[in-house]
Structure 1
């Protein structure tokens, strides 16, 4: 069990921890000289049954509240220390407020220095503290009158903490490993050591993790050794202090506030959607785009708050109220759903409120739409399966599986067991999750779009994949759209002719006589290379009517055997494959652009024909025109009209 002290400066937190554990947590010369705690201190008290009580001693001076916040994040049990002679002081109130905002709901109160005051004063301070605790999560916490100097009351407090630890339920580690580094050093013969409190997951000897900084630094490391609560161990989980011996990094490359975590969780964000609660004693309303300091487990960042719900119409978020906000940060952080944050004023002098992260990867657009606010309300549900179902229902283009894993700390396949019935999990490269309704709607949109296209362009074989995606679901990544097409193809609901997708009924069957004439036409087109004969020339050579040749070639185009570049000019499939290979070769140049003059030189013929072919590639979605005039060119955009495996080597 991880116990964190809290309280005003010089109320005896460090002395009390020393009385409980025998360890002096003030280790710095400046701390010894000034008699105050500056950095986080740690002490451990072994119990008879093998358990260990771990203590985090935090500084009480208001200048070191950010340090206190880092230490308080992740504690299981609070020990609020109040000196009986001073009574409740400013940092007593602020530390208690911070514990409340961080969701710490279990704790005890130690009234220290009781040997200096009469019993009546002890009773008076105990009553004052009881009233202070009443509106917080620590309401009703037991109060112990102690004196670290004489030892009075220390055994009773120690016995209470031991009883709480023994009754502590076994925590089942969930999610990927997350630890914020609060110390780093090197030991001769061992190498780099980092220490911190475990926020989630489990670490084991031999694990490969990421030592990462939200600003971009990251290094893969291996766990070569482990101490949990100051004892050698094979594994460590939530509620424990870990010292991790790392291979693969020098301790000088590590900074306080870095994260040691599962690689899938190293997704930085500079926006957070929060449920924010302001303290009743907060000095002012928070208006739209109010500037604040946001404290998270890994440190703090300056933030601007965009009000999302009714607080905006009410003129701001009032003291004692709660609301939905989007925090726009000046530097990135690593955050997951459910993480606690504390908001202080922009100067960092006053604690204003705090809350929970609902969405660590929100969009900057449409953040106040009713459907978005409804989704944020659903994300307040404690059930991860209910949250995932709400996310899928609100995502017509589906969700990126890696982003879901990072946002909700579900690395690996942790999200699979939470998928609602009918939801679809697309493997890589799509790597996307779609709800049953979204999957069905996407299929319906594809079928409807193909039907409309066939009605408008009956002589075209169908629609190329990327062009069809832009028509139906432009927000959906290409691999996911491809997966939906393949599923419809497998179900027999659509067909494919080369790169063109079509409805099954939109095809052309050829009889024996037409097949023979078609083969002759295709042979003549192929022989023409990059300058094939026009319809009138084919008709004359084959002694057929122009209308019959034109009709037959359009039917062949529907089958993907030829391609119509302009009216009455068709190319054989093999020749198109050669031309698209030439275009791809030109696009591999330094500026990645295909120019008509260069393409003309490669295929021979005139500039007009080169432009016609490149515009055909634009039309089917293989290329895209960019620039005008002398800068006009084309860049590769999507799938070629002839599949890549048919292109010449």
Structure 2
């Protein structure tokens, strides 16, 4: 294992008025409080920052967190990313309520190393110090983090400060190399504007690297922003890695558009979600009155938001649940989070984010739980997951995003497993190919061809919903599998293309054999002419039925034949477009630069009401022209 120096982040934690900020001042010579109100009230309200000069010539970032019970949100925002935590306890008062809660939070967030520090020793008696040491030792017995020997200090007289510094320096000589290939992920805890510089956001870089000139995104702000400059502890740097405090100057971004709780990530960051499966740990002794859909406070990075927790499953050695957020958030693999009650506001537990886009709403399936248990042990899990679920087909891109892994890892597991295949007949494919159970691939194709052959020649349209029920596939899996089949150059695919054609909502059968009767031709001409004249503001399909109210069955048949013949395009259950209008709709986002638009902005650009803009945007997302993230739609 290789080790590097200079990328440690140190933080404080503990009860209010136990001397955290004064300890930071004694260690660094920098007082972390920066708000006038904090100095006036002698109380830390927001996060404070300082740094410690290591004898080897680099700086250690120090974050001071507030200790008040009403400011746990700020505490979690600062503690996220701590590698070494100074757990501070007043020698006279010993362990207090927030001492315990902060210790639980540090443990749930997975802090690597914990240094207990007994402060204000000159004001305490030997008996008080002995009692506090005993209580601290009893609490630390159950902590999973590496616990260092306790330090007894007095920040005003300097007692024990030099020894504590030396201990910190020794602990910071060893640092495992970070994962430089990870995508950048920086929870934003401050955003402000400097005259002559512009908008600066600050936070602790949790993963990845940032460099001048990189283009990044902000989770709640559409678009991409160029990094103009980087700053680490008041010094400019050209590049920075994980574990550091960093200020990022972003060109063109308004400071008012960013808030604490946003996340700075790479452009087109894939790992976002609103529903996700989690492994939960409860604080020892917590009496949780569980009910389905329990409302709680969810803390991750610098974000605090209300959430709902569904489908709690207790398997003895693991507690599983699914979390629902009010809006999409960006996550990184195995990200830690904290759960707090809403009344009273106490830390109930925490855990880690396991996967996005779960199989079932509001519960973690047995297949998902089995796969996660295997992943935890470092064993192959993909075959177990696919075999235990009801899905036969996946695209590796979607699967990699959902499980927050690299596509190369999925393909490696598929190639090494006798139960899986990658691409057709197990061929070695590039990323983005299908992964399916080997035994099902050929069987699905045979069943599809048999089913198509059994359809009467006068039945021209086969909806995907009906076909999915016949083949036992969910619609996303059916779409992905069919699209891949149509791309292959082999006899089976050629025969399939000769007899069928894929449309948005189904499969057109015998596309070269569309014929209209005289009556159908008359109605078809009127429908096509009307849709051509109406362009991007067509009548609803129900209006087309009303136009020929005396011939409802003929109209339905004509619409199906027009779709099969390619003379109209169904873009939603309510609207069809003339092919010219559909082509205009597809090209409009790129031609007009409609990148990162809301439904209202899209409608204004094309002169459309919400009646049209919303279904048209859904159609463009399904056709991979746009990609939706939250309420915004981005060019692919």
TM-score by length of 1: 0.73
2:331 aligned with 1:324, yes or no?
Answer: no
Question: Where in structure 2 are the equivalents of 1:302-381 lying within 5 Å?
Answer: 302-310=306-314, 323-347=319-343, 349-363=345-359, 365=361, 367=363, 369-378=365-374, 381=376
Question: Where in structure 2 are the equivalents of 1:75-154 lying within 5 Å?
Answer: 75-138=82-145, 140-154=147-161
Which SS does the other structure have where 2:308 is aligned? strand
Instruction: Indicate conservation of the 8 Å contact 2:395/2:480, yes or no.
Output: no
Matched with 1:396 is 391
2:587 aligned with 1:591, yes or no?
Answer: no
Q: 1:110: Cα distance to partner?
A: 1.2
Q: 1: distance between equivalents of 2:283 and 2:43?
A: 28
Matched with 1:541 is none
2:448 aligned with 1:449, yes or no?
Answer: yes
Cα distance, 1:498–1:614 mapped onto 2, change above 3 Å: farther
Q: 2: distance between equivalents of 1:177 and 1:86?
A: 42
Q: 2: distance between equivalents of 1:308 and 1:58?
A: 32
- 1:239-258 Cα shifts (integer Å, max 9, x gaps): 11111111120222221111
Matched with 2:616 is none
Matched with 1:44 is 51
Which SS does the other structure have where 1:495 is aligned? helix
Matching residue within 138, 159, 177 for 2:166: 159
Q: 1:3: Cα distance to partner?
A: 0.8
Q: 1:464: Cα distance to partner?
A: 6.9
TM-score by length of 2: 0.75
Cα distance, 1:425–1:20 mapped onto 2, change above 3 Å: farther
Which SS does the other structure have where 1:294 is aligned? strand
- 1:124-143 Cα shifts (integer Å, max 9, x gaps): 32222111100112464211
Q: 2: distance between equivalents of 1:609 and 1:306?
A: 48
Matched with 2:196 is 189
Q: 1:335: Cα distance to partner?
A: 2.7
Q: 1:359: Cα distance to partner?
A: 2.2
Matched with 1:475 is 475
Instruction: Indicate conservation of the 8 Å contact 2:205/2:244, yes or no.
Output: yes
Cα distance, 1:589–1:477 mapped onto 2, change above 3 Å: farther
- 1:264-299 Cα shifts (integer Å, max 9, x gaps): 336653323221111122144333333222211132
Instruction: Indicate conservation of the 8 Å contact 1:41/1:57, yes or no.
Output: yes
Which SS does the other structure have where 1:79 is aligned? strand
Which SS does the other structure have where 1:86 is aligned? coil
Which SS does the other structure have where 1:264 is aligned? coil
Q: 1: distance between equivalents of 2:396 and 2:249?
A: 31
Cα distance, 1:465–1:362 mapped onto 2, change above 3 Å: closer
Q: 2: distance between equivalents of 1:290 and 1:467?
A: 34
Instruction: Indicate conservation of the 8 Å contact 2:514/2:561, yes or no.
Output: no
Q: 1: distance between equivalents of 2:553 and 2:288?
A: 70
Matched with 2:273 is 269
Q: 1:565: Cα distance to partner?
A: 5.2
Instruction: Indicate conservation of the 8 Å contact 2:394/2:435, yes or no.
Output: no
Instruction: Indicate conservation of the 8 Å contact 1:565/1:612, yes or no.
Output: no
Which SS does the other structure have where 2:483 is aligned? helix
In angstroms, what is the RMSD of aligned CA positions? Answer: 4.3
Q: 1:170: Cα distance to partner?
A: 2.4
Q: 1: distance between equivalents of 2:189 and 2:172?
A: 24
Which stretch shifts more, 478-487 or 331-340?
478-487
Q: 2: distance between equivalents of 1:633 and 1:190?
A: 51
Q: How many residues align?
A: 552
Q: 2: distance between equivalents of 1:580 and 1:443?
A: 41
Cα distance, 1:569–1:298 mapped onto 2, change above 3 Å: same
Q: 1:485: Cα distance to partner?
A: 2.3
Gaps (5+ residues) in structure 2?
Answer: 1-7, 425-429, 503-507, 580-636
2:297 aligned with 1:293, yes or no?
Answer: yes
